[in-house]
Structure formats: structure tokens, C-alpha cells
Amino acid sequence: MALDDRKLNATEERLAAMTVPDVGCTKTARQSALARVRAMGLPARRDEYWKFTRPDTLVQPEAPKAAVFASDEAWVFDAIDRLKIVFVDGVFNADLSDDLTLEGVEIDRLEDVCCQDNHWAEDFYGTLEANSHDPVERPLAALNTAFAGDGVTIRVTGKPSKPISLIYTHESETSDVFLHHVVRVESGAEATILENGPAAARFNKCFEIDIADGGTLHHIRAQGRDHERRAAAHMFARLGKESVYKSFTLTVNGVLTRNETVIELTGDDAVAHVAGACLGDGDFHHDDTVFITHDAVNCESRQVFKKVLRNGATGVFQGKILVKPGAQKTDGYQISQSLLLDDDSQFLAKPELEIYADDVACSHGSTSGAIDEDALFYLRARGVPKDIATDLLTLAFLAEAVDEIENEEIADEINGRLEGWLERRRG
């Protein structure tokens, strides 16, 4: 179908301002991604998939300015022993990063993909993104594949002793950044990837994750800090037999965040958990869009999304479980809930199930509510002041999502962030 003029113009206007970078031997993949962008057109206001989130500022040629948040607050995960990979406004910084060697994992930069013969990522870069556009198109991800200036390739071959930590710092008010990472977890291998930092004024990030049979990946990210930053992130994961992928995302601050998660369970007995907790205050729009496809027998998927919203903040959840013919014994669970701390905030949810197998258990639920007055009174009657009681109940509301983090140390870091955020707003 031909694009309408408005969409075509908006897309070409954006593309005119950019050049496909020459990074590693990803040229073919980039060119086909560019063709996909042109065919699909960039997201527009009237697109069904963008019904609840205005894509304008993610699409326009210039990134809207975003002030760099000055704070002496320690960065999340600082207390954790990890291998640090630092990007400053989307550019890898060797001085700030650790040596990229760690037993059980091979880490390269995207630009190195070419320098080695038959690099594993050569044929993988862009493939999960390319396969993700049916039934819904994800043009911002294709845009990323075409224009990503930097990124890493992570191949997990064993069980590395510490998490691999991607840190995105933001120094320029106008930085417009594309990062594309690819990950392969080999059979039986297991690793943890951490991500944090505001990254840029406008950040477009793509993660392609391929987990082989029996592989396990824990993926925890914290998006936050800078109030004016914008981000569109895509996380693509393909899971083999008996593999496990567990992700958790914390989002605080940021005027606009669109997190798309696309997971395909392609091997029997695979497990995918996707969880998110978000705290929004004021000019804050946060969108979790999740698409999980069950295409094998006896797989489990679990989506747990919790949003705390106040002062006019908006939360969006679009979550879908697609059970393909033959994907029997599927166990699918999806819950999206918001805690609205005032009347000005809103939560928009579109939970979907589409099932083509007859022996499955899928459940989904979505709720919006205020603080439970009975619980609040009970706490106050025991002497807990109202603001602290409200915070306790807020943390309790988020707990189901945070509990998805298996590593206690990492969960403590996330809880510390949540408590800090609540405390600062208590004044």
C-alpha cells in the first residue's frame, strides 16, 4: 500500500537529515532496513499502534532539546560489581569503560564486526527487527538498524562471573542517538545484562537477543534521571528450547518513553518474563508495548507492568499474547495496573489475547486505582504518618513487578531507586 503524502513527506524529511553510517560489515542489513523504513513510513499520529502515544517528537528531524540533569545522586547499580561499557551521548568511551574481556563472554563493538572473519553477528544484525513487522510495523526499529552509529555484540558462551553493564550518559542537550546491540546466548550459557542512564536528548535503541536451547538471560534496565529526555527502545528476543529470558525495566522521569518488547518463543518449554515498574510525575508519558508470540509447546510467558502516576502523568500499556496453531500447553499471563495518585493522571491500556490453540491457559487483567483508603487508615492508626504510609503502599503496589528480578542485590538497587524517588517527592 502506498503511503499517504503526509507520512511519506515526514519520513523523507527525516531521512534527508541522516546518512547511513559505515559501521562494520552491516551495510547490506542497513540498506534493507532503510528500504523497510521507506516502505512502512515512520509512525504518524493516526497509526493504530500509536493511538495512545504521539510519535511526532520521535520522528521529527531535530531532536527536541533535553537539559542534562545535574545531580550528585549516585547512579543505579553503582554498588554492583560489573563489567562497565560506557557510551557518552551514544559514543563508546574506552576510558570510562572496563576492559571488555570476561570469561564466558565475547564482547565486541559493532564496528569490529567486520574486522574478524565470520563474526557471528554479521548475519544476525537486523534479522529479528526485520522479522518483527508483521502483523504490526515497527518502523523506528528499522530506522535504528539502518542508522545505528554504535553498539556492542555480546556472545555468551559460559556463565560470566558478573553482569555486563551498559551505561548511557548524556552530556549534550541536543544529542540524537541510535544504539544497536546484538546478543547471543549459547546453549546452556547464562548471563545478566544491565542497562542504565538517560543516553541522549533523544535516544533510539534496539536490542536483538537470540537465546539458544537451554540458555538464560537476565536483563535489567533502569531508564531515568533526565526529565526532558525522550526514548524509543525496542527489545527483540527469540527463545530456543528450554531457554529463559527475564527482563525488568524501571522507568522514572523522561518526558516520553516508548518501550517495545517483541518476544518469540520458538522452542518448546521456553520461559519469558517481562516486567516493568514506572514512576511518573507531571510531564511524563510512558508507553509499554509488548508482543509475545508462542510458537512452540509448553512455553510460559509472563507480563507484569505496574505504573505509578501523578500530577498529570500518562501511562500506556499495549500488551499482546499471540498463541500460534500448535502451541499447546501455553501458559500465558499478563497484568497491567496503574496506581493513580490524583485525578489528573491517566492510564490507557489495551490488553490483547489471540489464541489459535485449544489447550492453553492464558489470563490477563488490567486495573486502575487509587491508594486503598482502608490500608492507609490501618497504617496511620498504627502511627505511620500519611506520606510514609502512602509511600509504603506505593512500593507494595510495585512489588509484584520488582519481584521478577531474581538477583537480590540488583533488586535492592532498584528498590533503592524507588524509595529515593518517593522520598524526594515527599520533600
Partner 1 sequence: MLEIKNLKVKLEEEDKQILKGVDLTVEAGKVHAIMGPNGSGKSTLSYVLSGRDGYEVTEGSATLEGEDLLELEPEERAALGLFLAFQYPVEIPGVGNMTFLRTAVNAQRKARGQEEMSAAEFLKVIRAKAKTLKIDADMLKRPVNVGFSGGEKKRNEILQMAMLEPKMCILDETDSGLDVDAMKLVSEGVNALRDAGRGFLVITHYQRLLDHIKPDVVHIMADGRIVKTGGPELALEVEQNGYADILSEVA
CB of 400 to partner 1, least distance (A): 7
Give the span between the Cα atoms of 93 and 168, in whole angstroms: 10
DSSP string for residues in 128-158? HHHTT-SSS--HHHHHHHHH--B-EEEEE-S
* Sign of the dihedral through C-alpha 365, 367, 371, 374: negative
CB of 379 to partner 1, least distance (A): 7
Q: Are 239 and 270 in contact (CB under 8 A)?
A: yes
Q: Which residue lies nearer to partner 1 by CB, 135 or 383?
A: 383
Chain residues 336-395 in contact with partner 1, contact rule CB under 8 A: 372-375, 377-386, 388-389, 392-393, 395
Q: Are 314 and 345 in contact (CB under 8 A)?
A: yes
CB of 418 to partner 1, least distance (A): 12
Give the span between the Cα atoms of 266 and 124, in whole angstroms: 16
CB of 376 to partner 1, least distance (A): 9
How many C-beta atoms surround the C-beta of residue 101 within 10 A? 9
CB of 357 to partner 1, least distance (A): 32
CB of 373 to partner 1, least distance (A): 7
Type of residue at 328: Q
Q: Which helix (H) or strand (E) holds 66?
A: none
Is residue 397 at the binding interface for partner 1, with CB under 8 A as the rule? yes
Q: Which residue lies nearer to partner 1 by CB, 20 or 376?
A: 376
Q: Which residue lies nearer to partner 1 by CB, 77 or 248?
A: 248
3-state DSSP call for residue 203? strand
Chain residues 398-427 in contact with partner 1, contact rule CB under 8 A: 398-400
CB of 147 to partner 1, least distance (A): 42
Q: Which residue lies nearer to partner 1 by CB, 189 or 308?
A: 308
Q: Are 94 and 147 in contact (CB under 8 A)?
A: no
Q: Which residue lies nearer to partner 1 by CB, 180 or 307?
A: 307
Task: Count how many residues are written for the chain.
Answer: 427
Contacts of 361 (CB under 8 A, 6+ apart): 330, 331, 332
For the window 10-39, what string marks contact with partner 1 as x by the rule CB under 8 A? ------------------------------
Q: Which residue lies nearer to partner 1 by CB, 186 or 391?
A: 391
Q: Which residue lies nearer to partner 1 by CB, 134 or 408?
A: 408
Interface segment toward partner 1; rule CB under 8 A; list 15-23, 24-32, 297-305, 397-405: 397-405
Q: Are 257 and 382 in contact (CB under 8 A)?
A: no
3-state DSSP call for residue 365? strand
Query: Which residues of the chain form contacts with partner 1 (CB under 8 A)?
Result: 372-375, 377-386, 388-389, 392-393, 395-400
